[in-house]
Amino acid sequence: MNYLQLVSITKEYDNKSIAVGNVSFDVAEGEFLVLVGPSGCGKSTLLRMIAGLETITSGDLLFSGKRMNDIQPADRDVGMVFQNYALYPHLSVEDNIGFPLSVRREPKQDIKRRVRETAEMIGLGHLLNRKPKELSGGQRQRVALGRAIIRRPRLFLFDEPLSKLGAQLRVQMRSDIIALQRKLGVTAVYVTHDQTEAMTMGDRIVVLKHGAIQQIATPYDIYHSPENEFVASFIGSPQINLFKGKMSANNGLQFVENNNGCIMSLEADFNASPGVECTLGIRPEHLIITGNSSTTTHTKVQNEFSARVQSVEFIGHETLVYFETAGELKCCRTGATSGVKSGDNVCFAFAKEHVLLFDSDGKRM
């Protein structure tokens, strides 16, 4: 059953600029949905419209089928966690967490009990008497999280809550947020510009660009079956390798990169015709180093090209090999002991099932 529904939601400002344009999607009850996209794509504006902090220019916002466009934020049964924590510096952890209940003038004993229950749930039971300035960034974010969940809302909204934390702490907090959301069974919408957060946290991902939806799918499908070139390049680290050029019928179907960057022999069942301009995408982990192109003993295989290695990054469990074609740097993700050095002329191969083709407009072919 869908708890949250957005139907043709648009946000237009007085200067006629469109922040969000005709966006529609549903969020199932208990689902964790992630909105991801570059800065300025409209994801935070969209979240604020759900919360009631931004007016909706047109379209309908529904909670369990009830239209919420004109309902005040305090009456939407929403808990929101912000990027900047938004804690009261003069209040203790206990008073910060219990603040939403204090505003409602609930009995003090009930507030105290629920604060302690919530604090234990988020691992802050031993810090209730401290002030925000005495806490680490991760602990402050947990206080903000506790303040959002103490009312037991039906909907959680997260606006880039981990962007100020260090890398290691972000990993821990990602896990904690997901575990908490699963335990409470609350519907959640999470905004981030970090594609790693999106991939590791979301049941589904909404990819946004210029206020419009590019794709809605599971993390697996977003990664392996992107609907357009933007989604393919935005999701994945290191980024997907994109070769821009055209198809050729010389000695069977071939892809010829612009500026004579490289020529790839392709198997004939690719959905493209000779002369068609397109972009060929291959993720770094799908490139295989088959040998040194300067040796006479190397046996050429199908779907192969050669390039000069620019740099090699050893990062423990794997090695990133960077090479250049047509003036653009690209990447191969390989094993820890690749044996490749900067300056080597290397042959790279790939399997046809890992190739993504995009037309001249960036749409998946």
Residue percentage of the chain with pLDDT more than 70: 95
| Collapsed DSSP state (helix, strand, coil) of residue 113 | helix
Average pLDDT (303-307) is 85
Count CB atoms within 10 A of the CB of residue 28: 14
Domains and CATH numbers, the chain: 2-234 (3.40.50.300), 241-359 (2.40.50.140)
pLDDT digits (tens, 9 = 90+) for 161-208: 988 888 888 898 899 899 999 999 999 999 999 999 999 999 999 999
SS3 of residue 343 by DSSP: coil
How many CA within 13 A on the CB side of residue 240? 27
In the three-class reduction of DSSP (H, G, I as helix; E, B as strand; rest coil), residue 263 is classed as strand
Q: Cα(73)–Cα(180) distance, rounded to whole angstroms?
A: 23
Q: Which of 116, 119, 108 is nearest to 142 (CA)?
A: 119
CA atoms within 13 A on the CB side of 80: 19
Q: What percent of the chain clears pLDDT 90, i.e. is strictly above it?
A: 65
Give the model's pLDDT for residue 251.
62
In the block, residue with structure tokens 């960077």:
322
Comparing CA positions, the residue from 283, 288, 335, 280 lying closest to residue 312 is 335
The residue among 247, 205, 208, 221 whose CA lies nearest residue 358 is 247
In angstroms, the Cα distances linking 198 to 149, 160, 202, 234, 284 are: 21, 11, 6, 11, 20
Statement: residue 315 has pLDDT above 90 = no
Give per-residue burial for 113-140: e unless 16+ CB within 10 Å, then b.
Answer: ebbbebbebbebeebbeebbeebeebbb
Q: Which two tokens stand for residue 92?
A: 């203790």
- Side chain identity at residue 164, one-letter code: K
Q: 214-228 pLDDT, tens per residue?
A: 999 999 999 999 999
| Distance in Å from the first CA to the final CA of the chain | 34
Q: Name which of 26-30, 156-160, 293-297, 301-305 the model is least confident about.
A: 293-297
pLDDT band at 64 (very low <50, low <70, confident <90, very high): very high
- pLDDT for the residue 273: 78
Kindly state the tokens that stand for 248: 């050729």
User: Which two three-digit tokens encode residue 133?
Assistant: 């300035």
pLDDT at 339: 81
d(C-alpha 131, C-alpha 233), whole Å: 43
Collect all residues with Cβ–Cβ distance below 8 Å to 189 and sequence separation of at least 6.
4, 27, 33, 34, 35, 47, 50, 155, 156, 157, 158
DSSP 298: P
Can you give the pLDDT at residue 296? 44
Residue 301 has pLDDT above 60, yes or no: no
Helix 93-103 with 108-121: angle, nearest 10 deg: 130
Query: Would the pLDDT of 331 be above 90?
Result: yes
